[in-house]
């Protein structure tokens, strides 16, 4: 095989979309958050099957906004949260920053989501108010069993679905499988708006609170009935309302420029999801002796192909020499990240530790071809040692 260059992630924005954006810019349209942002939000909510979506400036900001809004809106009976040990830094960090007591949950050995036995033990012992899930590399968690457990112990569920845009569990899209879900539109994710993200939800009250906190804590974007109710409660007149802040908010807004690209990308998302699903299956078939995630009752819009190798460092150098990028499997275990160790000491969890020590993922994106997958798999097998 001729040496190739196989990137871990690749740009999804086409030349045609760039030309379209350039033409739109020359028309002198509004660039800050405005009508296109609202149109994207409506289209994204329709795609995910939720009542609402809220566009923000990143998937990390989406997680921050979910965490803070639930706290400010009074949805949480305590400040205890369960977070997957295998996740992303900004899945966990908002809760650390807000002073939550955070409990790391070990990973399911099949899909690398939360382990049901460990989750139940944490729910029973700690009685947390909230669980945030991560659909690792696009693979949905065991949602029915998770909801049964969380309902039993009075724990709310939200999703970090940043790696799982387009994935489905029993025909229902990620982001619509819990109270709220977060997504990222960063370069290398399923679709890109350069920078950007979104929250999906169907709860009316939480929607209004999130809209307010997204933009400083004022009420300008809030549905009219809630805006008038807030004005009446705090006796705010029409002039004072311009700079009245009902929550200690942030500025997490996206822009109409991002939304313009996002709307174009959203049209291509179903095809992108199918390519990513196809590539995952090709990897699985080409590497049968190596671990691959398994998510029953799911369609997987794969983010990357995750697996284990006993000689990960040696393997990564070999792949790089062949022009193939790879990375550790997400963040490994949060319980062994430096920031966590400094605050809480090392937290050892069996499956998460295995991911931390031996996990890696291989390239998958919309521009990967079956021939590319075969090239990666060939050179992977030349050196990789299964566990």
Q: What's the mean per-residue pLDDT of the chain?
A: 97
The alpha carbon of 85 is separated from its chain's Cα centroid by a whole number of angstroms, namely 15
**CA–CA separation, 169 and 113 (whole Å):** 13
Q: Which of 118, 135, 139, 189 is catalytic?
A: 189
Domains, the chain, ordered by start: 15-259 (3.40.640.10), 269-383 (3.90.1150.10)
Question: Mean pLDDT over residues 350-370, rounded?
Answer: 98
Q: How far apart are CA 75 and CA 83, in angstroms?
A: 17
The tens digit of pLDDT for each residue in 39-68 reads 999 999 999 999 999 999 999 999 999 999
Question: Is the pLDDT score of 241 beyond 90?
Answer: yes
Which of these, 291, 301, 302, 293, lies nearest to 358 by C-alpha position? 291
Residue 316 phi, psi dihedral angles, 5° rounding: -60, -40
Average pLDDT over every residue of 82-111: 98
Secondary structure of 155-217 as H, E, C letters: CEEEEECCCCCCCEECCEECCCCCCEEEEECCCCCCCCCCCCEEEEECCHHHHHHHHHHHECC
Q: Give the DSSP H or E segment for 271.
A: helix 256-286
pTM given for the model: 0.96
Residues 280 and 304 sit within 8 Å (Cβ to Cβ):
no
DSSP 323-383: TB--EESTT--GGGSHHHHHHH-----HHHHHHHHHEEEE---TT--HHHHHHHHHHHHHH
| pLDDT score for 1 | 66
Would you say residue 78 has pLDDT above 70? Answer: yes
Q: pLDDT tens digits for 199-229?
A: 999 999 999 999 999 999 999 999 999 999 9
pLDDT at 3: 84
| pLDDT tens-digit map of 143-199 | 999 999 999 999 999 999 999 999 999 999 999 999 999 999 998 899 999 999 999
What's the pLDDT tens digit per position in 2-32? 888 999 999 999 999 999 999 999 999 999 9
**Is 294 an active-site residue?**
no
């Amino acid at each position: 095989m001729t040496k190739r260059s196989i990137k871990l992630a690749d740009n999804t924005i086409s030349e045609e979309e760039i030309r379209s954006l350039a033409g739109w810019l020359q028309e002198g349209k509004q660039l800050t958050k405005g009508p296109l942002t609202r149109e994207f939000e409506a289209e994204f909510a329709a795609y995910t099957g939720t009542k609402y979506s809220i566009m923000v400036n990143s998937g990390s900001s989406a997680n921050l906004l979910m965490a803070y809004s639930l706290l400010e809106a009074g949805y949480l009976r305590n400040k205890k949260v369960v977070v997957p040990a295998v996740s992303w830094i900004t899945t966990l960090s908002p809760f650390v920053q807000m002073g939550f007591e955070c409990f790391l949950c070990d990973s399911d050995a099949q899909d690398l989501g939360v382990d049901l036995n460990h989750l139940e033990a944490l729910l029973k012992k700690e009685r947390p108010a909230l669980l945030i899930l991560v659909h690792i590399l696009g693979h949905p968690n065991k949602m029915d069993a998770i909801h049964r457990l969380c309902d039993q112990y009075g724990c709310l569920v939200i999703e970090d679905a940043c790696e799982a845009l387009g994935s489905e569990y029993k025909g229902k899209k990620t982001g619509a499988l819990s109270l709220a879900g977060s997504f990222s539109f960063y370069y290398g994710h399923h679709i890109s708006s350069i920078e950007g993200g979104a929250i999906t939800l169907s709860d009316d009250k939480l929607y209004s609170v999130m809209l307010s906190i997204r933009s400083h804590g004022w009420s300008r974007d809030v549905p009219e009935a809630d805006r008038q109710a807030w004005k009446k409660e705090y006796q705010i007149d029409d002039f004072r309302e311009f700079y009245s802040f009902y929550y200690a908010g942030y500025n997490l807004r996206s822009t109409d420029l991002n939304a313009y690209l996002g709307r174009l990308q959203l049209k291509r998302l179903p095809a992108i999801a199918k390519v990513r699903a196809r590539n995952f299956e090709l990897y699985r078939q080409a590497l049968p002796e190596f671990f691959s995630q398994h998510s029953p009752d799911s369609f997987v819009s794969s983010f990357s192909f995750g697996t284990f190798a006993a000689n990960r460092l040696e393997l990564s150098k070999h792949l790089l020499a062949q022009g193939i990028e790879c990375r550790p499997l997400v963040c490994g275990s949060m319980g062994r990240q430096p920031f966590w160790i400094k605050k809480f000491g090392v937290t050892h969890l069996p499956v998460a530790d295995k991911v931390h020590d031996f996990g890696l993922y291989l390239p998958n994106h919309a521009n990967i071809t079956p021939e590319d997958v075969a090239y990666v798999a060939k050179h992977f097998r030349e050196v990789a040692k299964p566990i």
